[in-house]
Amino acid sequence: MADKIELTINGQLVTADKGMTILEAALSKGMYIPHLCHHRELEPVGACRLCLVEIDGKWKKTVISCKTEAKEGMVVQTETPEISEIRQATVELLIADHDVDCLACGQNTRCALQRVADHVGLNKKRLQRLKPPEKKLPIDDSNPFFNFDPNQCVLCGICVRTCDELQNVQAIDYAYRGLGTKIAGFGDKLRIESSCESCGECIVRCPVGALTEKDSPKPTHQVKTVCSFCGCGCGLLLGVRDNRIVSAQGNVNSPANKGRLCVKGRFGYKFVNHPDRLTSPLIKRNGEFVKADWDEALDLVTDTFSKNKGEKFAAIASAKATNEDNYILQKFTRAVMGTNNIDHCARL
Partner 1 sequence: MIFSEIKKRAEAEWDQLQHSKELTLFIGAATCGRSAGALEAKKTFQDEFEKRGIRANIIEVGCLGPCWAEPLISIVKPGGPNIFYKNVTTERATELVEKFIVAGDPLPEYALGLVGDKGDYSIPVLWDMPNFKSQERVLFRNFGFIDPTNINHYIANDGYSGLNKALSMKPAELIEEIKTSGLRGRGGGGFSVGRKWEAGLAAKEKQKYVVCNADEGDPGAFMDRSVLEGEPHSVLEGMIIAGYTIGAQTGYIYVRAEYPLAVKRLQGAIQQAKDMGFLGENIMGSGFSFEILIFQGAGAFVCGESTALTLSIEGKRGMPKAAPRPRTTEVGLFDKPTLLNNVKTFSYIPQIINKGGAWLSGIGTKDSKGTAVFALTGMVNNCGLIEVPMGTTIREIIYDIGGGITDDKAFKAVQTGGPSGGCLPEEFLDTPVDYDSLTAAGSMMGSGGMVIMDETTCMVEVARYFLDFTQKESCGQCTLCKLGTKQMLNILEDIVAGKGRPEDIDTLFNIGKAVNTGSLCGLGQSAANPVLTTIKYFREEYEAHINDKICPAMQCKELLSYVINADTCIGCTACAKACPVEAITGEKKQVHVIDQAKCIRCGMCLEKCPKKIRAVECVPGRLNEGGK
What is the dihedral angle through the alpha carbons of 163, 164, 167, 172, rounded to the nearest 10 degrees? 30
Under the criterion CB under 8 A, does residue 62 sit at the interface with partner 1?
yes
Under the criterion CB under 8 A, does residue 178 sit at the interface with partner 1?
yes
> Within its chain, how far is the Cα of 9 from the centroid?
31
What's the CA gap between 242 and 221, in Å, rounded?
10
Minimum distance from CB of 213 to partner 1 (Å)? 26
Helix (H) or strand (E) holding 184: strand 182-185
CB atoms within 10 A of CB 331: 11
Under the criterion CB under 8 A, does residue 68 sit at the interface with partner 1?
yes
What's the CA gap between 246 and 238, in Å, rounded?
8
Of the candidate spans 123-131, 230-238, 283-291, 292-300, the one that interacts with partner 1 by CB under 8 A turns out to be 123-131
Minimum distance from CB of 180 to partner 1 (Å)? 8
> Given the complex with partner 1, which of 116 and 238 has the nearer CB atom?
116
Cα within 13 Å of Cα(39), Cβ side: 20
Under the criterion CB under 8 A, does residue 12 sit at the interface with partner 1?
no
Q: Answer whether 239's CB lies under 8 Å from 117's CB.
A: no
Under the criterion CB under 8 A, does residue 126 sit at the interface with partner 1?
yes
> Given the complex with partner 1, which of 53 and 203 has the nearer CB atom?
53
Of the candidate spans 10-18, 72-80, 169-177, 258-266, the one that interacts with partner 1 by CB under 8 A turns out to be 169-177
Size of the chain, expressed as the number of residues it contains: 348
Under the criterion CB under 8 A, does residue 94 sit at the interface with partner 1?
yes
DSSP assignment letter at 164:
I
Under the criterion CB under 8 A, does residue 179 sit at the interface with partner 1?
yes
> Given the complex with partner 1, which of 195 and 253 has the nearer CB atom?
195
Q: Answer whether 150's CB lies under 8 Å from 212's CB.
A: no
Of the candidate spans 85-93, 268-276, 288-296, 307-315, the one that interacts with partner 1 by CB under 8 A turns out to be 85-93
Helix (H) or strand (E) holding 265: helix 263-267
Under the criterion CB under 8 A, does residue 79 sit at the interface with partner 1?
no
CB atoms within 10 A of CB 208: 24
Under the criterion CB under 8 A, does residue 131 sit at the interface with partner 1?
yes
SS3 of residue 81 by DSSP:
helix
Comparing CA positions, the residue from 218, 219, 248 lying closest to residue 236 is 248
Minimum distance from CB of 178 to partner 1 (Å)? 4
Bridge partners of 328, per DSSP, are none
Count residues near partner 1 (CB under 8 A). Answer: 38
Of the candidate spans 2-10, 121-129, 141-149, 232-240, the one that interacts with partner 1 by CB under 8 A turns out to be 121-129
CA distances from 235 to 224, 281, 347 (A): 7, 28, 25
Under the criterion CB under 8 A, does residue 154 sit at the interface with partner 1?
yes
> Given the complex with partner 1, which of 183 and 199 has the nearer CB atom?
183
Of the candidate spans 64-72, 184-192, 241-249, 337-345, the one that interacts with partner 1 by CB under 8 A turns out to be 64-72
* Residues lying near partner 1 in the complex (CB under 8 A): 44-50, 52, 62-64, 67-68, 82, 85-86, 89-90, 93-94, 96-97, 125-126, 129-131, 154-155, 157, 173-174, 176-181
